């Protein structure tokens, strides 16, 4: 089966009556959890992005509370799980500001978790990758927002560099 293009879908949806459109959306929401999460975000949470980001940050913090810095394997697993949570919500919001905000929060959580980044190159490389994503998101933002996020990104980069030097 060939998938229709976005334009074809948009044109077809514009031609549908209201009741049929509602039935399609309800069926789409039942079909997959990700579709339901996206519809929930668009309908209820997209108007208050700051409140949404606060709740996501809290969810990430709760995920990182389970971390055990002495057990390297379990710590890595917890960090990756928290990153998956962040990335899911970044995809839902489709906002560069939300991406930078959540990834900066993620890096702060990792740094403050007690994991010795100097002896854990996997986590350190993961942090550097996220820092590059943050820099790309900052470049795509409006100039007024860039300064604040860039300062925070540079502070985290300095902390990671210190850990990187201990690794070598």
User: Mind listing the pLDDT tens digit for each residue in 4-39?
Assistant: 888 888 888 888 899 998 988 888 888 888 888 888
Residues 123-139 have pLDDT tens digits of: 999 999 999 999 999 99
Q: What is the residue-averaged pLDDT of the chain?
A: 90
Q: Half-sphere exposure of 19 toward its Cβ, with a 13 Å CA cutoff?
A: 0
pLDDT in the model for residue 127: 95
Q: DSSP assignment, residue 141? A: S
**27-36, 43-52, 83-92, 119-128 — which one is most confidently predicted on average?**
83-92
pTM, 2 dp: 0.86
Residues 68-75 have a mean pLDDT of 85
Contacts of residue 80, defined as CB under 8 A and 6 or more positions apart, other chains included, come to 126
Give the ranges where the chain is alpha helix by DSSP (H): 6-15, 18-31, 33-40, 49-64, 72-93, 96-112, 121-139, 143-167
* Token output for 3: 């998938």
* Placement of tokens 């690794």 in the chain: 167
Residue among 40, 2, 9 nearest 24 (CA):
9
Q: Is the pLDDT of residue 93 over 90?
A: yes
* Token output for 98: 């939300």
pLDDT in the model for residue 8: 87
Helix axes 18-31, 33-40, angle to 10 degrees: 120
Beta-carbon neighbour count of residue 77 at 10 Å? 13
pLDDT in the model for residue 168: 54
Dihedral sign, CA of 41, 46, 47, 53? positive
């Amino acid at each position: 089966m060939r998938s229709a293009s976005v334009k074809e879908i948009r044109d077809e949806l514009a031609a549908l009556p209201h009741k049929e459109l509602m039935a399609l959306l309800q069926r789409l929401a039942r079909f997959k959890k990700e579709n339901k999460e996206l519809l929930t975000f668009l309908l209820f949470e997209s108007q208050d992005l700051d409140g949404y980001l606060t709740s996501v940050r809290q969810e990430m913090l709760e995920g990182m509370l389970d971390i055990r810095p002495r057990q390297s394997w379990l710590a890595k697993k917890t960090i990756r799980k928290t990153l998956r949570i962040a990335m899911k919500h970044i995809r839902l919001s489709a906002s560069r500001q939300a991406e930078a905000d959540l990834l900066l929060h993620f890096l702060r959580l990792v740094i403050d978790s007690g994991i010795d980044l100097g002896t854990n190159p996997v986590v350190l490389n993961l942090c550097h990758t996220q820092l590059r994503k943050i820099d790309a998101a900052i470049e795509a933002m409006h100039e007024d927002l860039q300064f604040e996020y860039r300062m925070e990104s540079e502070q985290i980069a300095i902390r990671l560099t210190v850990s990187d030097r201990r690794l070598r």
